[in-house]
Amino acid sequence: MLELDKTYRDELDKLAKNIQASEDLAKYLEEEEEEYYEQLKAGFEPLIHQLYERVAAENPLQLIPLEKRLMEDDFEGLFLP
């Protein structure tokens, strides 16, 4: 297992900020309706998946730190491994 490269960390941080700033998350937190969470998933999980696949292809020994980062609160449970 290796430490996650800064490039990947920066991309994850940017994704997390976008998730936290998203209108779908605000709606979900306000209404707690499943449809808003599904919209949140549809908007962000493909982006997370692309990064996950890139790390898996380029630096597979960094997958565990990537998965640990995805489990932090600012990812709101999206793309749980």
6-17 tens-digit pLDDT: 999 999 999 999
CA distance 17 to 45: 14
Whole-structure pTM value? 0.91
Mean pLDDT of the chain: 95
Neighbours of 65 (CB within 10 A): 19
pLDDT at 80: 81
In the chain, domain spans = 6-75
Q: Please report the pLDDT score of residue 1 as a whole number.
A: 77
| Below-50 pLDDT ranges, the chain | none
Distance CA 60, CA 56 (A): 4
Find where tokens 């730190």 sit: 65
